Amino acid sequence: MRSRLTHYDQAGAVRMVDVSDKPATRRTARARALVRLPRRVLAALPSNPKGNPLEIARIAGIAGAKRTAELIPMCHPLLLTHVEVQTTVRNGGVEIISEVATTGPTGVEMEALTAAAVAALTIYDMTKALDKSIRISDLYLLEKTGGKSGTYRRAR
């Protein structure tokens, strides 16, 4: 583990890390989120009058990944080469898995996390009229590859 965080300068002021000298390498990240829905809300997903919440969430997650640098102040704008968001109905909710890739000087962990979070928020938005107790949980990084720190895989 590093002794200091790179988003702070010597005086402790926040800064954007200079990645201009870092080599462009292939970098990927996968993230997960869970939207916990009551049974009756899960059952109503296919007939939602606003449209298919899972498909709309998938598209919103992709758009969210592409806008991460606008939302997280110290993130670098990246040219994303791949964004995929999958939504799967599970017992008690919807699991969201996002996958993001780039060839660049910095990783895409924040883009993957943002994609999963935005998709989860979209499901909430699309179903909140049915139940306000919907809960978003378990937002975390599953894995990342590339860069100086190499591969990380979350222990199950």
Segment 55-96, tens digit of pLDDT: 999 999 999 999 999 999 999 999 999 999 999 999 899 999
Segment 104-141, tens digit of pLDDT: 999 999 999 999 999 999 999 999 999 999 999 999 99
Mean pLDDT for the stretch of residues 14-22:
84
Which superfamily, per CATH, for 25-146? Molybdopterin cofactor biosynthesis C (MoaC) domain (3.30.70.640)
Determine the pLDDT at residue 48: 85
Residue 96 near residue 35 (C-beta atoms within 8 A)? yes
Kindly list the domain boundaries of the chain, sorted by start residue: 25-146
- Is 25 exposed, middle or buried (CB count within 10 Å of its CB: 0-12, 13-18, 19+)? middle
Tokens 């895989």 belong to: 153
Determine the pLDDT at residue 50: 81
- Give the active site residues: 125
